[in-house]
Amino acid sequence: MVELEGIGLHTGQPAKVRFFAEEGPVRLRVGGQTFRPLASRVSDTTRCTVLEAEGVRLMTVEHLLAALYLWGIWEGLLIEVQGPEVPILDGSAKEWMQALAAFPPRGPKPRPIPEPFKLQEDKSLVSVEPAAVFSLNVTIAFPHPKIGYQSFASPPRMLMEVVDARTFGFLAEVNALKAQGLIRGASLENALVFSDLAPLNTPRGRDEPVRHKALDFLGDLYLAGAPWTGRFSVHRGSHRLHVRLATRLERWLAGTEPDPGGRDGYSP
């Protein structure tokens, strides 16, 4: 058993996570409910990805799931969470990866993407094409002098380069987000924060924002239920759009067709 604890980024409440080796697919145990982390369990994507089962909600699962994706753990693990939110730790997946090192990678062979498709919402776009191996290209564009346009492509870069990239935000948004009941646990210890002109704390590389967006994407892609091969391209991604993609892949995995009209059954 491995244990980590901290506070939630949005709730600010204490949380504890325990990992147990247990046969079967990776499952979460929260408030007496045990369930798989799947796109069909997503109930909200406002500033984080939220799972729900029988009235039990678990917020901000994406960094933990990204670590599971990167480590290749799809089976043999039970994750018990005490609290309404997965702890933010340092804002990246670094500590999750360290905890998961106690467990071996296990899972099915990657499934091939059967056909190309695109999903789009306003200026956000995800495109997927069949390919023999997995590749990822993520781009972002923010009107900030220290961010602007950034890109991350693996290959040629190593996918593991996203592990230490922290969640980021803007000082100008803090009051509005707190008024919505969000980021109550945010601090300079667990987030990269930008003022109007510059970051308030030291970035882990100039491209930390785009690497974190890639990390978020991998966490949401884990919700598809299995690894996939293909070329994934994400421009100005969001949790909402990522989950639409994972929903389509989860349905393909189950042998069902995506919903017509491109909504893929996800409405929040």
Determine which one of 10, 63, 239, 242 is catalytic: 239
Q: Has 242 been annotated as catalytic? A: no
**80: amino acid identity, one letter:** E
Say whether 214 sits in a helix, a strand or coil. Answer: helix
- Specify the DSSP element, H or E, that contains 39: none
- What is d(CA 244, CA 235) in angstroms, rounded to the nearest whole number? 14
Q: How do the residues of the chain divide into helix, strand and coil, expressed in percent and rounded to 5?
A: 25, 35, 40
Burial class (CB in 10 A: 0-12, 13-18, 19+), 261: exposed
- What is d(CA 89, CA 80) in angstroms, rounded to the nearest whole number? 16
Active site residues: 239
